[in-house]
Amino acid sequence: MAKIICVLYDDPVDGYPKTYARDTIPVIKSYPDGQTTPTPSAIDFKPGELLGSVSGALGLKKWAKDNGHQLIVTSDKEGPNSTLDKELHDAEVVISQPFWPAYMTAERIAKAKNLKLIVTAGIGSDHTDLEAANKHKITVAEVTYCNSISVAEHVVMMILSLVRNYIPSHDWVRKGGWNIADCVERAYDLEGLHVGTVAAGRIGTAVLRRLKPFDVKLHYTDRHRLPADVEKELGLTFHENREDLFKVCDVITLNTPLHPETEHMINDKTLATMKRGTYLVNTARGKLCDRDAIVRALESGQLAGYAGDVWYPQPAPKDHPWRTMPHEGMTPHTSGTTLSAQARYAAGTREILENFFAGKPIRDEYLIVQGGHLAGVGAHSYSVAK
Ligand code: NDP
């Protein structure tokens, strides 16, 4: 029997849903690169249910009970008196979602003497100190691809919302107004603009594909170049480094993992190299940007808009300046936790747990750290400080 701590966001303020807006979600068996969606032995939830909040428990309650594991589900994760800190000392597995991350610091990892596995129910394991996980030979795994398309859709939505000034226009409707000039004095078409992604991995490439029909000029930069036929099909301009991309784009979207090479890549200096009136969309990680530099750039007009759903820390404090800065289109960290995405990462979490407890290998594409090293997909996409 193992002790498993599962840190999830709170239920809706009106209570756990009794009904849903829709009755089904599409069945998706594989992702665009052919990787199969998760294949646990079974699931104990109906796809489309709310699984990422405490009562949803990632659909793991029955599985844990049937297998004799102690499953502690909590949203209480900050500070020495939190449930997470109180329960950690003898836990074998910690699960959390990037939307409501259990920050697995070196200090917490050192305290958790029995810890063997940290699962990110989602994508992006930067809330775990990967060096500390390496040092203690803890396996870190995430459910690669589970919500990449969900995020790509959010990016496209945010780009269109900013460029077309959707949120302020909607606000006028709610206020009872018909203030067309107020709505359109900042509204443009996306057509013809130069749109670039920093990183063309799963999300970045999906964004490029989705934007192609808008007749925009597409740009990207990445550590590895995409195949020539993909560049040709999408009409992509490749830039050797992000600084070159920043200079030419009207809209920039960030789609890299957060690691030492990418932290604060957007700062006063890099913002100054962009065109005046650039739109920036960041659904990757809050710390890719210098928080206050973003506010300054929006206030000065260097940025025409900033949208995203990733912050630091999470949850963001009430006085976080990104809540109130001008021309923002922020959401809480929701892009990767639609009900559709939850069904996939809940199943993927169960697949990882089943394999782990059966002593079977975890899929390479899910592994970030194993046996003291970056492993699997982690070895490709992450770096640790030297
Ligand atoms: P992928 O691993 O498919 O893509 C990441 C890409 O970033 C890879 O192509 C990688 O390059 C590239 N990259 C890494 N470091 C650099 C660098 N220094 N400069 C340029 N490119 C770099 O991941 P996903 O597309 O699935 O996800 C990307 C990130 O988005 C995640 O790490 C996570 O932080 C975030 N995310 C956010 C979600 C949300 O809900 N908002 C949900 C899911 C993910 P290469 O492979 O060529 O080495």
Q: Are 80 and 62 in contact (CB under 8 A)?
A: no
DSSP state of 38: P
CA atoms within 13 A on the CB side of 338: 16
Give residue 239's pLDDT. 98
pLDDT band for position 235 (cuts 50, 70, 90): very high
Mutation pick for ligand 1 pocket among 150, 158, 222 (CB with most ligand atoms within 8 Å): 222
pLDDT band for position 12 (cuts 50, 70, 90): very high
Mutation pick for ligand 1 pocket among 256, 309, 311 (CB with most ligand atoms within 8 Å): 256
Question: What pTM did the predictor assign?
Answer: 0.96
257 Cα to the center of ligand 1, angstroms: 4
**Mean pLDDT of all residues belonging to the chain:** 97
Q: Find, among 252, 251, 199, 253, the residue nearest to 225 by Cα.
A: 199
373 Cα to the center of ligand 1, angstroms: 19
334 is in an annotated binding site: yes
CA distance 189 to 198: 22
199 Cα to the center of ligand 1, angstroms: 6
Q: Are 87 and 62 in contact (CB under 8 A)?
A: no
pLDDT above 90 as % of the chain: 96
The minimum-distance atom of ligand 1 relative to the CA of 224 is 47
21 Cα to the center of ligand 1, angstroms: 31
Give the tens place of pLDDT for each residue, 68-120.
Answer: 999 999 999 999 999 999 999 999 999 999 999 999 999 999 999 999 999 99
What mean pLDDT comes out for the span 36-61? 98
The minimum-distance atom of ligand 1 relative to the CA of 126 is 34
Q: Find, among 39, 129, 103, the residue nearest to 385 by Cα.
A: 129
25 is in an annotated binding site: no
pLDDT band for position 381 (cuts 50, 70, 90): confident
Residue 119: both structure tokens together: 């699962």
**CATH 3.40.50.720 domain residues, the chain:** 3-146+337-375, 148-330
pLDDT band for position 380 (cuts 50, 70, 90): confident
Residue 275: both structure tokens together: 């065109």
Q: For ligand 1, atom 20, name the residue with the nearest CA.
A: 222
What mean pLDDT comes out for the span 231-248? 98
CATH architecture of 3-146+337-375: 3-Layer(aba) Sandwich (3.40)
Give the tens place of pLDDT for each residue, 181-191.
Answer: 999 999 999 99
139 is in an annotated binding site: no
pLDDT above 70 as % of the chain: 99
The minimum-distance atom of ligand 1 relative to the CA of 377 is 2
Does an H or E element contain 307, and which?
Answer: strand 303-308
Catalytic residue positions? 147, 285, 314, 333
State which CATH number among 3.30.365.10, 3.50.50.60, 1.10.10.60, 3.40.50.720 fits the domain covering 148-330: 3.40.50.720
For residue 386, is pLDDT > 70? no
283 is in an annotated binding site: yes
The minimum-distance atom of ligand 1 relative to the CA of 256 is 7
Helix (H, G, I), strand (E, B), or coil: what is residue 51?
coil
Give residue 385's pLDDT. 62
